Amino acid sequence: MDNGRRTPRLSLHPRADVRVRATLLARLQTVHLLQMSEREIAEMIKDVESDPIFEKLLYPADGQWKVIRFQPHPRTQLSPSFYEMNEETLSEGSRPEAARVIAEGRDALAIIRRLGQEKFEKYFLRAEQETDRAGMSASTGLAEQEVQVVRDFLLAYSIQSEFFDPSTRGVGAPGQRVVRLARVSLDAQGEPVFEFGSPILARGRYDIQYERLQTLLRGVLLAPQERRHLKAFVRRLELINWRQNTLYRILDFVCHDQRRFLADRDGLKKIPITQRQLAKRLSVAPSTINRAIQGRSLVLPWGEEVLLEDLFCSRKNLCVGVLESLEDQDPGFGRRTDLELQEKLRTRLGFPVPRRTVNSYRRALSGGASPGVDPVP
């Protein structure tokens, strides 16, 4: 060795390196999926479902090939307005693309109305039956070509669905158009119910029957090239599932936590929840939450449209909101002591707020010292 120096030895672990690269690639894929618009996701889904193997796994001639069905998320439904859609019902803010989809989909809409909502959702939004196109035609009374007409329309409609119920929020972040995801209401138990305008969102996730999939992969029915293609195809379905599941879980968790606010329309009944806290509960990175909610909105039970990010709030924002409300309602607010305001905050919000924190918030509210401040012991 030169000059008595040891040359560092490099220990290469090809397998470990491959695993690290695979992990990084997976993370990049998921980040990209969350940044994709609903239209881009719908186009991706259309591309996936145009693969001949999708038809074989969804509507199989042989039951052992029934690997895929649709599984709607809990408390979700397709908007009733979907069944009433025609050129006359398009809203004033609808884009020309929406009118074009309706014009081109007249035959599909007529088929859906003839089929009826119950059968339509059973065969096209859940696809639970283990039958091929011929069996589906016999069950629905539709010609096989009509089944394809409906499927093609659903994908085309979903790609353009944001234009049928356009957001009134205009733009969110600079250069980012807001997309209205759903309308939320509360059921008899006070739990959120989501009404989606997009059939793709309403039908939920791909329910993959992994035991049947493994049987196919281990069997002799597939050539090696077909086996590799099937594995890659299922991986694409799993990525779409991850994206749709993440979005739904965020909607459900936030609206469940804010159900008192949704029930009473009282902003002071919101509970403090931050994106970081939700990320911890969902076991994802905070940046995942941030990307998932950017540029997306909900319509609340009373018709107001809000950005998803507006349903998050910190303890500080809630406290300041209550103090502002008290200041407006109480002529003697400025003479109230910190201890008095501390008790009012505890009563209104349901959690204790340190007295020094109360003093800090009221000083910020008034832009200076508060005359009602208690002497510091």
Q: Output the CA torsion 126→114→160→304 (10° steps).
A: -80
Query: Quick count: other Cβ atoms within 10 Å of Cβ 204?
Result: 20
Amino acid at position 235, single letter: R
**pLDDT beyond 90 at 331:** no
**pLDDT beyond 90 at 332:** no
Report which secondary-structure segment, H or E, holds 271: none
Alpha helices by DSSP H, listed for the chain, are 14-35, 38-49, 52-58, 96-104, 106-115, 117-120, 133-140, 144-159, 199-202, 210-218, 224-257, 259-264, 275-282, 286-293, 315-329, 338-349, 355-366
The pLDDT tens digits of the residues spanning 263-314 come to: 999 887 888 888 999 999 988 888 889 988 988 999 999 999 999 998 998 7
Lowest mean per-residue pLDDT among 65-74, 113-122, 142-151, 355-364 = 355-364
DSSP secondary structure code for residue 171 in this structure: B
The pLDDT tens digits of the residues spanning 241-268 come to: 999 999 999 999 999 999 999 999 988 7
Which residues partner with 299 through β-bridges?
A: 183, 305
3-state secondary structure of 197: coil
Alpha helices by DSSP H, listed for 258-337, are 259-264, 275-282, 286-293, 315-329
**Is residue 296 a contact partner of residue 286, using CB atoms and an 8 Å limit?**
no
Cα distances from 192 to residues 20, 125, 157, 173, 279, in angstroms, run 39, 21, 25, 27, 20
pTM above threshold 0.85? no
**Cα–Cα distance between 94 and 102 in angstroms, integer?**
12
For residue 91, which of 180, 151, 31, 215 has the smallest C-alpha distance?
A: 180
